[in-house]
Structure 1
Amino acid sequence: MAYDLKPFGKDYFDMTASELFRDFGRQIFSNLPDQKTIKTDINEKEDRYELKAELPGFSKDQIDISYENGMLIISGENNQVNEEKDNEGKVIQKERSYSNVKRMYSLNNIDEDNIEAKFEDGILSVDLPKTENNQRKVIDIK
C-alpha cells in the first residue's frame, strides 16, 4: 500500500536540501505575528523617561507621535513603491512596497508640554520629562 505524503501540497522528496529548508522557513515564519513592529528601549531617569525607537526606512514626515491620557503613541506609514520601470527585465521579487507600524506605551505623570523628540538615522528619540507630582493615585477596590 502506497501513501501520498505531500504536506502543504508539495512533494518534499524531490526537493534539494536548500529548497527544503527555504520552503520550511517560509511555512513557519509566514504564520508568525507581523514582524513589522517598532523595537523600543525605554530608560527611566529620576526626572524623565528616555525612549529610543527603531524606524528604519522611514523619514521624519512619515512618523506621527502623540501623547494622550497617559499613552504615548508612535505610528508610521511608509510607501516605498518604486515607479521606475525596467524595460530590459522583469520583477522577480518585490518586498518593499508599503509598511504601516503603530505602537502604544503607557507612561504616566508626564509633563505633556515639555515632551521633545528628534529623528536621526532611523532612530526616534523621545524625551518625556516627569511632572513634579510623581505619586501615583492609589484606588482601593472593594
Structure 2
Amino acid sequence: MSKDSNKGGFGDLMHSMNEFFHERPMKGMLQSIDEFFTSSANPFGSFPVELSEADDHYLVTAELPGVNREQIQLDVFPQYITISVTHKEIYSEENEKHQTIRRKQSMRKSSRTVSFPRTVNEKNVKASYKDGLLSVKVNKESGKRIQIE
C-alpha cells in the first residue's frame, strides 16, 4: 500500500462533505434555518443584534421592526447587556349585545444577551430607538495605571 492511497480517504471524505453542504437541497435548508432564526416571525423570538467597539465605548444595535419603545427592556451589567422584548396580544370576541363571550390573552418574551469583551461602566449608558433600530452606547470601564516604585 502506498502512502498516497491512504491519504486520499480522509481528503475524499472532506471533499464529499463539503459538496454535500454546498449542493442545492442542503444549502437551501441551511439558508432557511438562518432566515428562520433572524426573521421576526419565528416562535423563538430571536432578533439580530450587533456589537461594535470604539476606543472608549461599545455600541450595541438591535433590529426591532414593528416594536414599540414600551415593549423594550434593557438590563446592563459590567460584563453583558440583555435586550428583552415583550409581545402582548389581547383578543376578545363579543356577541350582538356587546357582551364579551371569549377573551384570550397571550404574552411572548424574547431576549438576546451580548457579552462585552471588557468590563463596562453600567451606570453610564445611553439608549435611543428610532425607526425599528435600537442603539445602546455603553462606556468602557477605564482602569488606573500605576507607577511601580
How high is the TM-score relative to the length of structure 2? 0.53
Q: Which has the higher contact order (CA 8 A, sep 6+)?
A: 1
Which one of the candidate residues 65, 70, 83 is aligned to 1:56? 65
Q: Percent identity?
A: 26
Check the 8 A contact 1:109/1:134 in 2, yes or no. Answer: no
Structure 1 equivalent of residue 126 of structure 2: 116
Q: Mapping of 1:8-87 within 5 angstroms?
A: 34=43, 36-81=45-90
Count of residue pairs brought into register by the alignment: 97
Check the 8 A contact 1:65/1:73 in 2, yes or no. Answer: yes
Amino acid in the other structure paired with 2:86: E
> Where do 4+ consecutive residues of structure 1 move more than 3 Å?
32-35, 80-85
Structure 2: runs of 5 or more not aligned? 1-28, 38-42, 95-105
Structure 1: runs of 5 or more not aligned? 1-24, 86-96, 136-142
Structure 2 equivalent of residue 126 of structure 1: 136
Bigger proportion of residues as strand = 2
Amino acid in the other structure paired with 1:128: V
Shift of 1:104: 0.8
Bigger proportion of residues as helix = 2
How high is the TM-score relative to the length of structure 1? 0.56
Residues 59-68 or 74-83, more deviating: 74-83
Residues 34-43 or 56-65, more deviating: 34-43
Give the Cα–Cα distance (whole angstroms) in 2 for the partners of residues 42 and 76 of structure 1. 18
Structure 2 equivalent of residue 20 of structure 1: none
Residues 51-60 or 97-106, more deviating: 97-106
Structure 1 equivalent of residue 97 of structure 2: none
Distance change (3 Å), C-alpha of 1:61 and 1:68: same
Give the Cα–Cα distance (whole angstroms) in 1 for the partners of residues 65 and 144 of structure 2. 34
SS at 1:115 equivalent: strand
Amino acid in the other structure paired with 1:67: V
Amino acid in the other structure paired with 2:48: K
Shift of 1:123: 0.9
The structure whose Rg is larger is: 2
Shift of 1:42: 1.2
